[in-house]
Amino acid sequence: MELDPHTLQQILQRIYQQMRCPQCGNRVPVDFSSVRVAAAGSLLLQLKCDDCNAFIVLHASIQGVGKYAPEAEQGSLTNASSTLELSGQEMDMLSQALQESDGSFEKLFAKYGAAEKEEKKN
């Protein structure tokens, strides 16, 4: 199962809301760096309590994560980067433009941004 970054962030937020240190009972920080293994249907996290320095290994089942995926959020706003789809022709054009810009998005935007400004002037 592939997880996009937005879905993974939602899962980690849910874990943070529910996770307490088994030794002191305080909240345990949960972030991307806590994830050690993301396998099909599960996550393995290594957490550390900031208060008592206890290390916690957590195995989290992510079955049913489909309800958090962007495709399931019909009618709501989602980050376009997680659902962007390009045709083969558009991908080839983007690849060619990046090669011409030596792989620099900054050069790419400068080049095509300037061309767009000139078209608006005319």
13-68 tens-digit pLDDT: 989 999 899 999 999 999 888 888 887 778 889 999 999 999 999 888 877 655 54
Quote the CA–CA distance of 65 and 15 in Å, as a whole number: 13
Assess contact for 28 and 20: CB atoms under 8 A.
Answer: yes
d(CA 51, CA 68): 31
Cα–Cα distance for residue pair 43/41, rounded to 1 Å: 7
The better pLDDT of the pair 115, 15 is held by 15
pLDDT in tens, 84-107: 566 777 777 777 887 888 877 777
